[in-house]
Amino acid sequence: MNMKIENNVTEDDIQYNKKGKKNEELDTYFTAEVPVPQSDDYSFSWRKLLAFTGPGFLMSIAYLDPGNIESDLKSGAVARYRLLWVLVSSTIVGLFLQRLSARIGVVTGKHLAEIGYRRYRKVPRLLLWICSEIAIIGSDMQEVIGTAVAIYLLSNRVVPLYAGVLVTILDTFSFLLLDKYGLRKLEVFFAALILIMVGTFGFEFVKVKPMASDIAKGIFIPYCQDCDNDAVLQAVGIIGCIIMPHNLYLHSALVKSRRVDRKIKYEVKDANRYVFIEAIVALMVSLVINISVTSVFAHEIFGKTNAEVLNMCRATNNSLFDIDGFEDNTDPFEADTYKAGIYLGCAFGSYAMYIWAVGIFAAGQSSTMTGTYSGQFVMEGYLNLQWSRWKRVLLTRSIAIAPTLAVTLTSDIEHLTGMNDYLNALMSLMLPFALIPTLTFTCSLKVMGPKFVNGRAGKTFATLVSIVIIMINIYFVINLVIEKGDTLIYSIVAVVGIGYVAFTLYLMVCFSVVLFSSDWPNRVRFGQYFREVDTIEYQYTDRIDTPVEPDTQL
């Protein structure tokens, strides 16, 4: 265990500035905080809620990235309205997990990666950083694909796919310029992008007019009558798309931007309340958008064959609609973000295609900056390292662009959009490496303190949900490998799988030690590698020996 220093700061927390002087606190991304109105009591205040509004909407953007939009339209095309309840349930579980990650930031004043740096040993935290970066790069690739497809549609195929991919480097740096004007202005800008998605996807919903009764049945009745294997896999894919690993790191860091006196228990409790309310509102907006997209294509595409769609597009006799990649057979029509835009254009006119493309463009652009933030937080946390954001963006986006650009140069748009399935599988595999640390720290009395540590009901629910999510995601990945894999992929999966399982088990043992407050690791060989660090992370006045009931709310 690291040597203890004053004020619960360990040796690893100390870094040196350019003059060789010690700095006990890592100077993280947020150097300025958004002020929160003060009041004599802790009754609900709209002014306070407005002050806390922002981080939740930035977090909710991950629920609206191009990968999620494609998952929505495929759900409607494959199972009609029968998977809407899966979408709603996944969003509710996602809200619960986001609440846990946000509480870490509010209570401790440190985000998930910073706490991980202080409480895991060097090798585990390095592996956590690598896994987090893999998930962020996978998400970034989906944003690149979505933006490139949107530009391709909006330009009537004048701008080739590879050029659209390269353009995404420039747009990311343009957002960094906006960041210079302050976090609040950046939050307003991305709220505007969400409003664009509400307008564009909402327009398609109003134009198509799906049956409200069918939507309500799909939302409130958990059923999947006559669902085939494709529908089951799509249901599993929804869970993988909604609950994303980098979003847990992101939300725990964004809430630090609000000025909260963490030494006062009631201030922390009040902040947790407003953060949770804002997260509910933000995820409700994202859920409405996701339901709208699913409903549009459930009404329009479900049950249609390739030949039916092709003949409909041919009948328009419009050269704007690129149908060269459409097949002429009786197989079910398989939609993606590109084909969905073409279909809407054929069915309702070219303006519907352009409006769809604007929505996809907004989804890709809004997700760009959240990926940049997540990468910044993960790097500065697990590596105790600060790096200029433009360097960080250049590295991450370059890694994301390389394979995407290779596909655009050597293949067609269908293979480009088809990469989303593999990317969703990749992020599903990385989920345990954000989820398990989140549960470990929120169940730790030394991190959250006696008031905000998960109660018995919260611990039980969190553990069960996590096990189910991890098992579902592994099932999704295994099915994808079996369906699309070959001998080389099988060999790679076998080799990587051993290390993957071993590291997951290590994190689970660390979680179990915290969960059951066991001291057995102190008495067995190698036990020192699982023992929880003694450092106290929370700052409010109630200490461990104070008989305060834990917050048992979920």
Calculate what percentage of the chain has a pLDDT beyond 70: 87
Of 165-174, 310-319, 479-488, 520-529, give the lowest mean pLDDT range: 520-529
d(CA 63, CA 239): 11
Q: Of the ranges 42-46, 246-250, 391-395, which is most confident? A: 246-250
Structure tokens at 335: 């939609």
Confidence of residue 309 (pLDDT cuts 50, 70, 90): very high
For residue 518, pLDDT over 70 is answered with no
List pLDDT tens digits, range 311-329.
999 998 887 788 877 888 9
Q: Of the ranges 118-132, 133-147, 409-423, which is most confident? A: 118-132
Region 249-263: what's the mean pLDDT? 93
pLDDT at 501: 87
Contact present, 46 and 37 (Cβ < 8 Å): no
- Name residues whose C-beta falls within 8 Å of residue 131's C-beta, 6 or more positions apart in sequence: 245, 430, 433
Contact present, 187 and 57 (Cβ < 8 Å): yes
DSSP secondary structure string, 254-314? HGGGB---TTSHHHHHHHHHHHHHHHHHHHHHHHHHHHHHHHHHHHHTTT-BHHHHHHHHH
- Residue 514's closest CA among 437, 452, 435, 457? 437
List pLDDT tens digits, range 333-345.
988 999 999 999 9
Of residues 293 and 514, more confidence is placed in 293
For residue 545, pLDDT over 60 is answered with no
pLDDT at 23: 41
Task: Give the amino acid at 466.
Answer: S
pLDDT at 551: 52
Region 211-229: what's the mean pLDDT? 88
- Residue 63's closest CA among 34, 92, 37? 92
d(CA 339, CA 342): 5
Number of H helices, E strands in the chain: 21, 2
pLDDT at 11: 43
Q: What are the sequence ranges of the domains in the chain?
A: 43-529
pLDDT at 154: 93
Calculate what percentage of the chain has a pLDDT beyond 90: 44
Contact present, 36 and 51 (Cβ < 8 Å): yes
Dihedral, CA atoms, 198, 204, 209, 212, nearest 10 degrees? -30
Question: Half-sphere exposure of residue 165, counting CA atoms within 13 Å on the CB side?
Answer: 22
- Name residues whose C-beta falls within 8 Å of residue 331's C-beta, 6 or more positions apart in sequence: 305, 306
Contact present, 139 and 244 (Cβ < 8 Å): yes
pLDDT at 520: 54
Structure tokens at 251: 């939300």
Confidence of residue 526 (pLDDT cuts 50, 70, 90): low
Region 49-56: what's the mean pLDDT? 93
Helix axis angle for 183-208 and 161-179, nearest 10°, is 140
pLDDT at 521: 54
Burial of 175 (0-12, 13-18, 19+ CB in 10 A): middle
DSSP secondary structure string, 105-129? HHHHSS-HHHHHHHHS-HHHHHHHH
Give residue 127's region: left, alpha or beta (phi > 0; psi -120 to 50).
Answer: alpha
Question: What is the Cα 42 distance to its own chain's centre?
Answer: 32
d(CA 139, CA 246): 9
Contact present, 450 and 550 (Cβ < 8 Å): yes
Give the Cα-Cα-Cα angle 35, 37, 42 (nearest 5 degrees): 130
CATH architecture of 43-529: Up-down Bundle (1.20)
List pLDDT tens digits, range 228-252.
878 888 888 888 788 889 999 999 9
pLDDT at 73: 94
Structure tokens at 71: 């998952």
Q: Which residues pair with 34 in a beta bridge?
A: 258
- Name residues whose C-beta falls within 8 Å of residue 80's C-beta, 6 or more positions apart in sequence: 214, 218, 298, 302, 303
Of 60-64, 275-279, 390-394, 543-547, give the lowest mean pLDDT range: 543-547
List pLDDT tens digits, range 136-186.
888 888 888 889 999 999 998 889 888 888 887 777 677 767 767 777 888
Q: Strands, E, within 94-181: which ranges?
A: none
Collapsing DSSP states into helix, strand and coil, what is residue 305?
strand
Q: Give the total residue count for the chain.
A: 554
Question: What is the Cα 441 distance to its own chain's centre?
Answer: 19
Contact present, 441 and 119 (Cβ < 8 Å): yes
